[in-house]
Amino acid sequence: MNAALFDYGAGNLHSLGKGLEGAGIAVTVTSDWKVALGLDALVLPGVGAFGAASRALAPARDRVRDALAGGLPCLGICLGMQLLFDGSEESTGAGVGLLEGHVRRVRAKTVPQMGWNDVDVSCDPLFEGVTPLVAYYANSYVCEPVDTTTIIAWSEYEGIRFPAAVRAGHSWGVQFHPEKSSNAGRRVLANWVRLAGGGR
């Protein structure tokens, strides 16, 4: 099984790639949507800004949405989770639109949220073996799904409760960074690889 790790051209994807490979999946880093959508699964990483990522997405937005709606396994991390939605306060440009809703700036005194935070998880198999979960965050924006039944985990920051993870079919989004979240994060990645149909 080979997963596409999409490169928005914004930063280092090494740790995430290594985390996925450690879970037993081959990884192809690419900025070519034709290549990405032709592989077995898609990972939208958490590096970059919404506007730049939206521009990278624009030529293939409909194809990406159709592929995910059609069952292509996907994991969106931080910014990657936000791209699954319609748009963001961060900048102009559209997301994939797989999930109806918008991304807004965290209404807190200290932004961005940087560091470890508790994650209140559901029984979704993405979180098998990681209860309780404490994960690493680096975010200034959070997602607001119209359909709250898509939310599969929550976190709280400065008294503000926000979705920590969402799911739509075979697509998962996590606001935290599993590749920076020690053993629990590695287990989340391994669970996703297994759910996507590969790995150990």
Does 89 qualify as catalytic in the annotation?
no
Task: Out of 74, 90, 143, 177, pick the active-site residue.
Answer: 177
Does 102 qualify as catalytic in the annotation?
no
Q: Which residues contact 21 (CB under 8 A, 6 or more apart)?
A: 27
Q: Which residues contact 28 (CB under 8 A, 6 or more apart)?
A: 2, 3, 4, 5, 35, 36, 39
d(CA 44, CA 123): 23
d(CA 175, CA 154): 10
d(CA 1, CA 85): 27
Residue 103 gets the label, from left (phi > 0), alpha (psi -120 to 50) or beta, of beta
Does 78 qualify as catalytic in the annotation?
yes
The structure tokens 């503000």 sit at 160
Task: Out of 74, 90, 143, 179, pick the active-site residue.
Answer: 179
Q: Are 4 and 43 in contact (CB under 8 A)?
A: yes
Task: Out of 21, 74, 78, 102, pick the active-site residue.
Answer: 78
Q: Which residues are catalytic?
A: 78, 177, 179
